[in-house]
Amino acid sequence: MSRESVINWIVLAGLVAVPLWAHLSDEPFTITLATRAVILALAAVGLNIALGIGGLVSLGHAAFFGIGGYTMGILAHHAQTYTPVMEWPLLIEGTKSMPVIWGLSILFSALAAFLIGLLSLRTSGVYFIMITLAFGQMFYYFAISWAEYGGEDGLSIYVRNGFPGVNTLVPIQFYGLCLVALLIVLGFNAALARAPFGLALGAARQVPARVRAVGLDPYRLQLLAFTLSGAITGLAGALFADLNRFVSPTMFSWQLSGELIVFIIIGGVARLFGPVIGAVLFVVLEHWLGGLSDYWHIYLGLMLLGIVLFGRGGVIGMVAGRERSHD
Amino acid sequence: MTEPVLQTKGLCKAFGALRATDNVSIDLRPGEIHAIIGPNGAGKTTLIAQITGMLAPDSGQVFLDGEDVTRTPPPTRARMGLGRTFQISQLAMGDTVLQNACLGAIGATQRQWRLVRPALRDPELRDRAMAALERVGLSDQARSVTAELSHGQRRQLEVAVALTLAPRAFVMDEPMAGLGTEGSARLTAFLDGLRREAPILLVEHDMDAVFALADRISVLVYGQVIATGTVAEIRADDMVREAYLGEEA
Ligand SMILES: Nc1ncnc2c1ncn2[C@@H]1O[C@H](COP(=O)(O)OP(=O)(O)O)[C@@H](O)[C@H]1O
Ligand SMILES: [Mg+2]
């Protein structure tokens, strides 16, 4: 087993053991922190498809996180106020069902990612970063001005949405649901990276001219990657909204897009568990350092600087070395 | 006479005042190796870029199997049967040798939308890639990371990737560059047989290889074809000797 797999298994064991321990010793706050970490990890794992394999540095992924969040918020808001989402041309009611909300969150964020990708993937490098940022900001300002759904104040949802067979009000059960979602997506990512699609996408990042020369279109490969990536981050947004029972325009903020990139860089770009390690470290630091100082971001910044300057493979790269498994 | 597989008619491409390609009409017939020679900066790579679709000509046309592909993007030309190698190796350095060959197989079979099963566990992709590596003598390096290959091995891999496409026509930009005597001799022997599978438009500086392989030679100077003919004709051509071969004679 490679050192990277050992790290992955340790992280996985921690994600199972710590919340269980917290549950048994009645520390619900720790479970909430862990849930937050897992959901942010899921969002970053989504981004890592575009960024890690595809080399697409999107500074607009908060758009998809927010779309997932608002999909949940709007549907649950209408369900709790007993008002329809729309009556014409067809009647659409709100819902408190997580499977339905998740499906729609994935659908809407995938659609948004497809449309944003369609335009922004025509550019590359700094222009791509800027145009994705611009799209993200568009959604942010739209959400702020959307008075019907709380505008700047956002929307509160009084009771967590339901999932068949699970009591989502029990923190450990909701956590379990989020962890399973993360594991499924990680499994999908691991497969994707080795599948013909992942191989072609990685080649499109490294040698686009070669990819064209063998009859493949980098643009289309990147468009699918961006769409899948946005869909997963959108799902994370729906879960995040359910964790907080609250959505607001900050879900669309560019700071969040930046944090997702930071998770990936801290953990290790293009490493399966890179974003997971990054998100966990972030949440832990946010909690510990945030309690010590309001300026805890400085420490995060220093850590990021250290990693970028001295250990470009992130935490995983530093521990497991540069070698990557090829099979 | 047989229909040419590949043909250009009056291709022109200027970079500012520089005419990099000046009214170039050449063709590639079934079974032949057509060598393009000319001094550095003559416009050979620019010509290839237009044939493969990476550069749009200012005027003129490119035909593949009689079909006008002048406005066809490179991936489509590749799918139509144009297999090319690059003067400067274009390989995914972080991937293994086998993965690079596999990329060609993915393009050839258009399996890029398969999202789950590992590419290297797909027997057809794997066999195609391995067969190509074997033919250029790289099968022992299949699992090596491409960045670890020697320059010569990278040149071999360039050829292998083109082989996975099983193209209708090969376009090769200086495949021998930097190979050394022994490597050049081996690749020369290999290309000699390859022409029976598909004709080769061969841009090459190595005159020994060109004279050994070419059925026809076109000489490009300042973007213009100043002569086309058999090896004997080109060797005897005064203008060519003066313009180009003079330095070797
Ligand atoms: N993109 C470009 N912009 C400007 N000049 C170029 C460009 N590409 C090639 N050239 C010029 O065109 C001429 C032909 O170049 P090239 O086709 O690479 O020659 P060759 O392959 O025969 O050595 C050279 O003078 C080169 O400097
Ligand atoms: Mg050249």
* Structural domain includes residue A71: yes
- Look up residue A266 and give its two tokens: 């801290």
- Do residues A174 and A36 touch, judged by C-beta distance below 8 A? no
Q: Is B44 in the pocket of ligand 1 (CB under 6 A)?
A: yes
Strand partners, B12: B59
* Structural domain includes residue A27: yes
Listed in sequence order, the residues at least 6 apart from B68 whose beta carbon sits closer than 8 Å to its beta carbon are B61, B62
* Structural domain includes residue A326: no
Q: Tens digit of pLDDT for each residue in B26-61?
A: 999 999 999 999 999 999 999 999 999 999 999 999
Q: Which strand (E) or helix (H) includes residue B202?
A: strand B200-203
Give the relative orientation of helices A28-48 and A171-194 as an angle to the nearest 10 degrees.
Answer: 20
Give the relative orientation of helices A218-244 and A196-206 as an angle to the nearest 10 degrees.
Answer: 110
* Structural domain includes residue A327: no
Q: How far, in Å, from the CA of B205 to the mean position of ligand 2?
A: 9
- Do residues A212 and A200 touch, judged by C-beta distance below 8 A? no
What is the homologous superfamily of the domain B1-81+167-249 according to CATH?
P-loop containing nucleotide triphosphate hydrolases (3.40.50.300)
Q: How far is CA A244 from the centre of its chain?
A: 16
Tell me the CA distances in angstroms from B171 to A314, B8, B44, B48, B218, one per residue in order. 41, 13, 11, 7, 14
Say if B96 is an interface residue toward chain A (CB within 8 Å).
yes
CATH code of the domain containing A184: 1.10.3470
Nearest to B128 by CA among B155, B165, B78, B80: B165
* Structural domain includes residue A325: no
* Structural domain includes residue A72: yes
Global pTM reads: 0.94
Residue A165 sits at the vertex; the CA angle it makes with A164 and A170, to the nearest 5 degrees, is 105
Nearest to B87 by CA among B56, B41, B133: B41
Largest CA distance in chain A: 60
Could you give the CA distance from residue B21 to residue B72 in angstroms, rounded to a whole number? 19
Q: Which strand (E) or helix (H) includes residue B85?
A: strand B82-85
pLDDT by position in tens, chain A (length 327): 788 999 999 999 999 999 999 999 999 999 999 999 999 999 999 999 999 999 999 999 999 999 999 999 999 999 999 999 998 889 999 999 999 999 999 999 999 999 999 999 999 999 999 999 999 999 999 999 999 999 999 999 999 999 999 999 999 999 999 999 999 999 999 999 999 999 999 999 999 999 999 999 999 999 999 999 999 999 999 999 999 999 999 999 999 999 999 999 999 988 999 999 999 999 999 898 888 877 888 888 888 888 888 877 888 888 887 655 444
Specify the pLDDT at position A310: 81
- Do residues B160 and B140 touch, judged by C-beta distance below 8 A? no
Contacts of A196 in chain B (CB under 8 A): 102, 106, 111-114, 119, 122, 125
Contacts of A210 in chain B (CB under 8 A): 86, 90-92, 103, 161
Q: Is B18 in the pocket of ligand 1 (CB under 6 A)?
A: yes
Pocket test of ligand 1: the residue of B22, B46, B222 to mutate, having most ligand atoms within 8 Å of its CB, is B46
Q: Which domain holds residue A302?
A: 3-320
Chain A residues with CB within 8 Å of chain B CB: 188, 191-192, 194-200, 202-203, 206-207, 209-217, 221, 224, 324, 326-327
Q: Is B21 in the pocket of ligand 1 (CB under 6 A)?
A: no
Q: Is B88 in the pocket of ligand 1 (CB under 6 A)?
A: no
User: Which parts of A133-265 are beta strand (E)?
Assistant: 155-156, 246-247
What are all long-range contacts of B136-145, with beta carbons under 8 Å and residues at least 24 apart? B136/B160, B136/B163, B136/B190, B137/B186, B138/B97, B141/B97, B142/B96, B142/B97, B142/B98, B142/B101, B143/A326, B143/B96, B143/B97, B143/B98, B144/B96, B144/B97, B145/A326, B145/B93, B145/B94, B145/B95, B145/B96, B145/B97
Is the ipTM value over 0.85, yes or no? yes
Could you give the CA distance from residue A3 to residue A325 in angstroms, rounded to a whole number? 10
pLDDT by position in tens, chain B (length 249): 578 999 999 999 999 999 999 999 999 999 999 999 999 999 999 999 999 999 999 999 999 999 999 999 999 999 999 999 999 999 999 999 999 999 999 999 999 999 999 999 999 999 999 999 999 999 999 999 999 999 999 999 999 999 999 999 999 999 998 888 888 999 999 999 999 999 999 999 888 899 999 999 999 999 999 999 999 998 888 777 777 655 544
* Structural domain includes residue A256: yes
- Do residues B244 and B68 touch, judged by C-beta distance below 8 A? no
Residue having the nearest C-alpha atom to atom 9 of ligand 1: B46
Specify the pLDDT at position A323: 52
Question: Domain-by-domain residue ranges, chain B?
Answer: 1-81+167-249, 91-166
State how many domains chain A has: 1
Could you give the CA distance from residue A34 to residue A107 in angstroms, rounded to a whole number? 26
Specify the pLDDT at position A292: 81
Residue B228 three-state SS: strand
Could you give the CA distance from residue B244 to residue B233 in angstroms, rounded to a whole number? 14
Residue A2 three-state SS: coil
